[in-house]
Amino acid sequence: MGCGDSCMSPKDSREPIRYDPDFNGPVHNRSCTDILWLIVFILFLGAWGYVGYYSATRGSVEKLLAPIDSRGRRCGLDSGLEDKKYLMFFNIAKCLSPGTPITGCPTTQVCVENCPKTTTLIAKELAQNPNNFESLRASMVCVDEVNTQSMSSSQALQYMQEEKCAGFLLASQPVLGRCFVDVSSTMEVLNDIMNGTLQLEEGQVLEKLTNLIKFDQLSSQIVQDLVQSRWYMAGALVAVVILCFIYILLLRWVVGPVVWLSIAGFLALLGFAMYLCYKNFEYYKANPVGLYQTTNLKGYAQSIFAKYETWLVLLIALAIIFVILLLVVIFLRSRITIAIALIREGSKAVTAIKTTVLFPIFPWILQCGVIAYGVLVLMFLMSIGDSAFRVVNFKNDTTCDCAGIYTEEGQECNPAKFVSSCRDTASVGGALPCSLASCHFTGWSTCWVSFG
């Protein structure tokens, strides 16, 4: 049986070829290629899994996520902090702000050997009975420039007001190298306050009470906000689905201009981005910025984009993408026309099977999982190799002397050697370490290693 009118060329009929179950196709001797590419895909998944296994067994994300104190030093890695692997917050209640990950926590943060095991209200006990200072001295946590062994009780109170020493210690547990409040132990102190076991003034009771229960308040507020806004979120989801359906429905008439304008706009955006990258590359190469560490995402982003190497890499990457996309548009424009026709036909199919609008949710979830796995593997790969350390703040520390071993900012260094060689000449007998200069962990000397 012949194929009838369905064999007519689309150029002649100007209509898509209709389905005919008796039509055998233009090529009779065809071979299956799906099995070959399925094997290639399985091999790729196996190789990807092996890379993840290799990176997880050789790398250390803990070093990559090592906490940073208020001076920008990495706990457990930088000079003088090899044994102090945990970060303690003087007043962690100040960190309970939505903007903390961006702007940082506005309280003093120091590296300690161990997180506090018990809750101690040092400032209050010292104010009530200064004679107990000797028993409290060992538990005090202060910044490096404060000598707890030689200071008096009055100096300790002054340092606490200046946030150079912690006014109180909360029982904490280490989480990713950070000391977070142990809720069970803290609630015991709260009960003592409420029962009158701890005699505190009214204002201090309210202050401690607020600091201790903010954690529960924050979590309960989040749950309450989610419950109250559940119908708004459901309505927004339905509205997005409806808008997507209307947009897909309109594509059959406007898909051509939309695709070509999108390509042109993307090329223009890439060109403008390359211009910005080049200008920033020129500026930061002529005006280099010294190495420094930070404790928040805003400062971390600033430290990355203050390096001319970052802008050079971005410029090269954008230029490659621009050239590839431009060549595709020039030499494969006929394929783009075919893609436009397929999108137009797809918009017609969606109107017939409306549930296809919901299908992209499942690939999106799968893509999120793949991206999360890729980011995790990348973090492990970045941590493979020998740790790299460099001298920082050497120019700003005029009293730091390293016996000629370290003389330049950004010079490669060894933390143990820096501690033994560098001293603050302004201190008595030069016994104290340098106050500003230190040997900073700056990453790993190599990220690409052989699989052997």
Cβ 110 vs Cβ 69: under 8 Å = yes
Cα–Cα distance between 105 and 295 in angstroms, integer? 8
Each residue's pLDDT tens digit, 166-186: 888 888 888 888 888 776 655
Joined tokens for residue 443: 């990453």
Of 233, 186, 195, the closest CA to residue 214 belongs to 186
Q: Which single residue is written with the structure tokens 């300690």?
A: 112
All structural domains of the chain with their residue ranges: 230-352, 387-444
DSSP summary character for residue 433:
P
DSSP summary character for residue 451:
-
Give the three-state DSSP class for 173.
strand
pLDDT one digit per residue (tens) for the chain, 452 residues: 445 444 544 444 456 667 677 766 665 566 666 788 889 999 999 999 999 999 888 887 777 778 888 877 888 888 778 888 899 988 777 776 666 666 677 888 899 999 988 888 888 888 888 888 888 888 888 888 788 888 888 888 888 888 888 888 888 888 888 888 776 655 555 555 555 544 444 344 445 445 555 555 555 666 777 778 888 888 888 888 788 878 877 887 888 888 899 999 999 999 999 999 999 999 988 887 655 555 555 666 667 788 888 899 999 999 999 999 999 999 988 888 888 888 888 777 777 777 777 777 888 899 999 999 998 888 888 777 777 788 888 888 888 888 888 888 888 888 888 888 888 888 777 777 787 788 877 766 544 443 33
Cα–Cα distance between 241 and 362 in angstroms, integer? 14
Chain centroid to CA 100: how far? 13
Neighbouring C-beta atoms of residue 37, cutoff 10 Å: 10
Cα–Cα distance between 179 and 229 in angstroms, integer? 33
Cα–Cα distance between 123 and 165 in angstroms, integer? 10
* Residue 351: per-residue pLDDT: 73
Label residue 331 exposed, middle or buried (CB < 10 Å: 0-12, 13-18, 19+): exposed
Q: Which long-range contacts (CB under 8 A, 24 or more apart) does 134-137 make?
A: none
* Residue 312: per-residue pLDDT: 92
Each residue's pLDDT tens digit, 374-422: 988 888 887 777 777 888 888 888 888 888 888 888 888 888 888 888 8
Neighbouring C-beta atoms of residue 343, cutoff 10 Å: 16
Beta bridge partners of 86: 112
Cα–Cα distance between 356 and 175 in angstroms, integer? 43
* Residue 203: per-residue pLDDT: 43
Cα–Cα distance between 443 and 293 in angstroms, integer? 11
pTM of the predicted model, to two decimals?
Answer: 0.57
